[in-house]
Structure 1
Amino acid sequence: MTCTTEVKVKDPTTHLEISIAPKKVYVIKNHRGNTIKIGVFVSPKTGQLFRALLPDSYSCQ
């Protein structure tokens, strides 16, 4: 299920900051026990998948 809420992330393949909705969102706990959100995105120019950290207030709709 693809999210529709867009966030600004830096595309590591083109090195540009783009506004895009994540393809999938994972909620995980890091080594300190804090909950973080990771989004999987598709680069619009190259089509490659990349990950980026999402803000805690992000909700997938």
Structure 2
Amino acid sequence: MAAREPCKNAVKVRTPSGKELELIPRKVWQLTPSGRKGVKVGLFQDPETGKFFRQKVPDDYPLCG
């Protein structure tokens, strides 16, 4: 599998602690259930706690990570 380039653009997301921040995802991938339109999911790290969480990103965001 070819290595993807790192993510560069920040996305406005709500962290698990409830704050809205602009974060750059570590990785973005496509989830496509059979027979339905897919969504793009990003892996983010909460700057306060260091925990990772997943959040939907806009459809025009490139796959990266």
Report which of the two has the higher share of strand: 1
Report the TM-score range of the alignment, normalised by the length of the smaller protein: 0.7 to 0.9
TM-score, with normalisation over the residues of structure 2?
0.79
For 1:20, the equivalent position in structure 2 comes to 23
TM-score, with normalisation over the residues of structure 1?
0.84
Which consecutive residues of structure 2, in runs of 5 or more, have no partner in the other structure? none
User: How much does 1:57 deviate?
Assistant: 1.2
Q: Work out the CA distance in 2 between the residues paired with 1:37 and 1:55.
A: 7
4+ residue runs of structure 1 moved beyond 2 angstroms?
Answer: none
Q: Percent identity?
A: 33
Match of 2:9 among 5, 10, 19: 5
Residues 16-55 of structure 1 aligned to structure 2 (within 5 Å)? 16-30=19-33, 32-55=35-58
Higher-Rg member (1/2): 2
